[in-house]
Amino acid sequence: MKYLLSFGLIITLAAPAFAWAGEVVVYSSRKEHLIKPLFDRFTADTGIKVTYLTDKAGPLIQRLVAEGKRTPADMLITVDAGNLWQAAERGILAKTKSKVLDKNVPSELRDPEGRWYGLSQRARTIIYSTERVNPKNISTYEGLGDPMWKGRLCLRTSKKVYNQSLVASFISHQGKDKAEKIVKSWVKNLTVAPFSNDNKLIAAIESGKCDIGIVNTYYFGRIQKKRPSVKLALAWPNQQSTGVHVNVSGAGVTKFAKNPKEAKQLLEFLSSEAAQGDFAGINQEFPVNPRVEPTDLVKAWGGFKADSMNLSEAGKLQADSVRLMDRAGYK
């Protein structure tokens, strides 16, 4: 009896002063400073506690696969539809039906089966030196293979999922043969070996090592916010055809979630008008919710026609994209 009383006393003393209305455990490859403010607001609004773990997409997906039914994770947040598609195909995301999500997230920015939903958009587009490039000479992604750009083009490595998804969109729209010709023409025009990240590519353009390249828009946005007079600008290619390639960061409820109701509630919140401005704006991205405006900085880049390809296609064609770039000599 003394043991039971003592055990009861321990439980009472250890119990928190505040009883949470629920809990959600999130695995996120989106960095802490981009997600924590939104999680804090969600907790303040609902009383549901959000616990999270951050890492790169690959290790998080592998962890979810290894943990299986034992996983504590209720939600996965990651970047690029290629990663989201991989997670869905490996059976670690559940199908989520939600009229709220269907209203807030356009169909091309979510999985047709409801396993993941985009939460912010970024365009992978052309960036150029305003001192050495006439924007009238920029029209398409394919045009970067024109001889006029020989020794002037910089690219990020093909090993990054962002470029794999971009080339996957070429395969989807134009077929493998035409896509391979495009990539080979890029390789011929490279002035230096591909960079490991977009920041190094941007620095190379600023320093004069190259004049033009392809980046995710938010990398430029971060720099422009710090240095408004930077001698760089974005161009919107393929406006007379397929449109600019866009991709997403997004999320899905895990297959073995212990708190699926709360996870769905968090996902709906992150897609809402109340959250979208900050979710996208903190990182100078575009909201997915069509009723939410981007930041003034992003809005100043001007409007553009975006590719309407469902982003699940980028995932389906990812392996083909990787093999194609390898054949083309794009490292």
- 57 to 119, 155, 319: CA distances (angstroms): 16, 22, 17
Q: Is 62 helix (H, G, I), strand (E, B) or coil?
A: helix
Q: 3 Cβ partners below 8 Å, 6+ apart?
A: none
Q: Report d(CA 318, CA 312) in Å as an integer.
A: 10
Determine the pLDDT at residue 21.
Answer: 80
Q: Report d(CA 252, CA 265) in Å as an integer.
A: 11
In the chain (331 residues long), the average pLDDT of successive 10-residue segments reads 30 43 96 97 98 97 98 97 96 98 98 98 98 98 98 97 97 98 98 98 98 98 97 98 98 98 98 97 98 98 97 96 98 96
Q: Report d(CA 294, CA 245) in Å as an integer.
A: 18
Determine the pLDDT at residue 6.
Answer: 29
Give the E-state strand segments of the chain in sequence order: 22-28, 48-54, 75-79, 117-129, 153-154, 212-216, 232-235, 246-253, 286-287
Q: Report d(CA 24, CA 77) in Å as an integer.
A: 12
User: Nearest CA to 85 among 74, 72, 76, 73?
Assistant: 76
Neighbours of 18 (CB within 10 A): 8
* Contact in structure between 48 and 23 (CB atoms under 8 Å): yes
Q: Report d(CA 145, CA 194) in Å as an integer.
A: 15
What is the DSSP pairing of strand 75-79 with strand 153-154? unpaired
Q: Report d(CA 106, CA 303) in Å as an integer.
A: 17
The angle subtended at Cα 255 by Cα 249 and Cα 261, nearest 5°, is 85
Q: Which letter, b or e, does each residue of 189-217 get, where b requires 16 or more Cβ atoms within 10 Å of its Cβ?
A: bbbeebbeebeebbebbbeeebbbbbbbb
The runs of H, that is alpha helices, within 47-104 are 57-67, 81-89, 99-104
Determine the pLDDT at residue 19.
Answer: 61
User: Nearest CA to 98 among 252, 230, 221?
Assistant: 252
What's the chain's length in residues?
331
The angle subtended at Cα 309 by Cα 201 and Cα 79, nearest 5°, is 50
DSSP state, residue 254: B
pTM, 2 dp: 0.92
Write down all domains in the chain, each with its CATH number in brackets: 20-121+247-293 (3.40.190.10), 123-245+311-327 (3.40.190.10)
